[in-house]
Amino acid sequence: MSELISLAGELDAGDALARVRDRFVLDDVVYLDGNSLGALPAGVPARVADVVARQWGELRIRSWEESGWWTAPERIGDRIAPLVGAAAGQVVVGDSTSVNVFKALVAAVRMARGDAEGDSRGAARDEILVDATTFPTDGYLAESAARLTGCTLRPLAPADVPGALGPRTAAVLLNHVDYRTGRLHDLPGLTAAVHAAGGYAVWDLCHSAGALPVGLDEHGVDLAVGCTYKYLNGGPGSPAYLYVRRGLQDRFDSPLPGWNSHAEPFGMRPEYAPAPGAVRGRVGTPDILSMLALEAALEVWDGVGIEAVRAKSLALTDFFLRCVEEYVPEGRVESLTPAAHAERGSQVALRCDDAGDVMKRLVARGVVGDFRAPDVLRFGFTPLYTGFAEVERAARVLGETLG
Ligand SMILES: *Cc1c(COP(=O)(O)O)cnc(C)c1O
């Protein structure tokens, strides 16, 4: 035990990101649930107070222009873009992840159909493949998107996707990191396989953006969505984002073409004409209060590189697994998270028979993770504010709880 405590001290002393923790409001609870709701960045309360009291209270309608409200979805999209490896002009913020999954998937099928029109073989692309282990909302929306577009939905394990691709594949919806096990999927390889089959790849980045490099542009991803309240710390229900690769933007045919996506929104024309660029992904009036809270929250990333975040994330999860092995009685838990770094996100999922009850006891002792039915203890590691001494303490309390 004392050996792991002193090792934690050494790791904290050598941690280049240790000081970023001061940019957050935290206490002595070990908070390992940033993959569900990121902690509050210290600059947010004052910003929100200003948005409410001055921008809304005093400037009122003028704030749409003078406070930059109208262009916030694109501006904040450009702030998120470097974190997911995208050049500017391809990410727009707004709506929930669920809504963006729907937009992206229907638009992907429409693109695939558009390709087939000029195809002499008359190829009818009529299949959507979806990760069967996905966060449920993605599966529900994929089912609806399939029904609306006349496609067949094929749920399967991500490892089985390459073998299932073919001339019928229209779109493939995948998670970069599995929300339950923390498994990191092969985004470059799977995207290339989808492209080789002539389909479109839609990635859900909810559990990877802000925790590890994504490389959307580099890997030629077509469309991507993600939420901002997990590793991006945007606050409860903060708006999600949609990435549409630049080369596809002219062909992005939104199934929710609201007036905010119009080329001339204040022209109030009866005919729809889509705006160019990422703006085309917008729908209706943006939720300014949570959007500007998110903008303030993103300032914690100033001067922070995603590569350093990834290195620390792996060191944190490695150290946690080592401490668990040391402290937790043999056979009480089993890690569902891959040991290989190339397959690991920024969380550790431990299977444990009485997980629901165990997590309640951990929370009562100041170690907050979460329980995922039926038997998973899930611990998320946010490298911006989680330290190694906290990791050691979490594993020690877990060991005592299970001992
Ligand atoms: C958190 C999460 C969501 C959340 O969707 P909302 O629309 O924000 O409720 C969706 N998909 C995945 C994979 C998630 O992890």
178 touches ligand 1 (CB under 6 Å): no
206 touches ligand 1 (CB under 6 Å): yes
Phi, psi of 221 (to 5 degrees): -60, 140
Same-domain check for residues 311 and 288: no
Pocket perturbation via mutation, ligand 1, pick of 178, 227, 294 by most ligand atoms within 8 A of CB: 227
> 133: which 2 tokens?
């282990």
Dist. CA 272 → ligand 1 center (Å):
30
H-only helix segments in 284-368: 288-297, 306-327, 355-364
Same-domain check for residues 249 and 397: no
**Last residue of a domain, which of 247, 276, 301?**
301
Whole-number pLDDT of residue 117: 73
Same-domain check for residues 205 and 63: yes
Same-domain check for residues 264 and 314: no
Number of independent structural domains in the chain? 2
Q: What is the CATH number of the domain that holds 338?
A: 3.90.1150.10
**Last residue of a domain, which of 272, 301, 330?**
301
Among all residues, which ones are annotated catalytic? 135, 204, 229-230, 378
Q: What is the CATH number of the domain that holds 228?
A: 3.40.640.10
Whole-number pLDDT of residue 122: 42
Range of the structural domain that residue 330 is part of: 2-17+304-402
**Cα 150 to chain centroid, rounded:** 28
Which regions in the chain score pLDDT beneath 70? 118-123
Whole-number pLDDT of residue 17: 98
204 touches ligand 1 (CB under 6 Å): yes
pLDDT in tens, 98-155: 999 999 999 999 999 988 776 654 458 999 999 998 899 999 999 999 999 999 999 9
Same-domain check for residues 79 and 178: yes
Same-domain check for residues 59 and 6: no
Same-domain check for residues 254 and 358: no
Sheet containing 241-244, strands listed edge to edge, beginning at the edge strand earlier in sequence:
91-93, 241-244, 223-226, 200-204, 169-175, 127-131, 152-156
Q: Residue 34 domain-assigned?
A: no
